[in-house]
Chain A
């Protein structure tokens, strides 16, 4: 995945709900339209990130997994 992003959050090694909490804090620092890249090793984060995007209105542009690391790109609403 080669998507341009404005900020990156490394949430590897952290378990639920910290990746979601940190994602929220990181998005708070961005302006509308900017993209946050999130790295996570929490296996539940794929569903959690989809739910987070659905409930908050931030757009989940893309997600994937590479060597047990989950990658998400969120565009701030």
Chain B
């Protein structure tokens, strides 16, 4: 509805490639639709704020829904190199299909003025600091999120 800015509050807690997409897809689309957006990053979601997103990988372990190039027993997914292979396959498939990279979606969020807020408790736990993150990241805690989310039109936990 024009003239009435909507607000999206989103928590990202996962650091796998497939779980990194929904927060950035929804936040970037919300930006495109004129929303004010705040993203909170906690636990493994903090890695989505790293300067280099190459650390975001896909794990085939314990994921029976993951398509494999050749049939293989679940135990084989723990072999060295399987994670890199799965990540490479997923990324190349995404490129072929015309799917945006995480970096592109994150850039839209940053340019669109999305507030990126890192959870201070889990930053401490993982020994992460501002220097590990892209520019413009704020630090806050649960109260910061609740204060932001209490009048948001949409609140999502991913």
Spell out A's residues near B (CB within 8 Å).
13-18, 20-21, 23-25, 51-52, 55-57, 77
Contacts and interface: CB of A to CB of B under 8 A. Distances in A.
Given A21-B32, A51-B33, A55-B1, 4 more contacts: A14-B98, A23-B32, A25-B32, A56-B33
Interface residues of B, number: 17
B98 A21 contact: no
B98 A15 contact: yes
B34 interface: yes
B154 to A, nearest CB: 12
Interface of B: 1-3, 6, 25, 28-29, 31-34, 97-100, 105, 108
A25 B140 CA distance: 31
Given A21-B108, A55-B1, A56-B2, A15 B97 contact: yes
Given A24-B33, A57-B1, A57-B2, A17 B28 contact: yes
A43 to B, nearest CB: 13
Contacts of B31: 24
Given A16-B25, A21-B29, A21-B108, A56 B98 contact: no
B105 to A, nearest CB: 8
B34 A56 contact: yes
Contacts of B2: 56-57, 77
A51 B99 CA distance: 20
